[in-house]
Structure 1
């Protein structure tokens, strides 16, 4: 496995894993690599610092338990943020656009948007961001 820092045409930098350098070249050439933040498929390798291994007698600072704890903290923060936010389902793009244009009062909302809708919102300057974890709609909860 090999990890690359990649940069989209929109300026977002993200990390991606590939089986090999040639796998990256092949997938990029076929248009299979896109930005997870905006969906842009104009992808290039970003400048990245070399990964220098720690001395053999030192234990790595990042353990699976540390990663699991960080993910749990991130999930808890998302849950707390969504507690004060209204689920608007597939009306997310239209509601966010209406708030941005002043047709509707600003309020914290979350919901679903297609890649195309999300790209359009970003291009229009509507401040939106993807959530790190999937959200279960209220009607689907037990």
Structure 2
């Protein structure tokens, strides 16, 4: 179920629960969605208000966020991958298949693959997890 914030033509705002957006649209076309305040059937979805708190307050006082910015998290992921995965470069698909079929010892690998190679890996049942990595500083696209 999805909760949508709804509003009628008179400006009354209320909440409606539906299986999905299509269910809302179907019920709306049938005149089944009406404002609980004025019974107006001219109802539409409005953007929901939400917020992400900077700090969370608990019974023990405020808890500050971790202080890690997105860039810091990305840098930590890159560092972890560089330290814990063998970089096989453009041979990623070949190495992944060798590991999958027991030709070489299992190990964590990273590298690049083409969409065609990824289709082969998927067809062969090789688990694949793509992680977009930020470009290294000072390296420009050719």
TM-score of the superposed pair, with normalisation by structure 2: 0.47
Bigger share in helix: 1
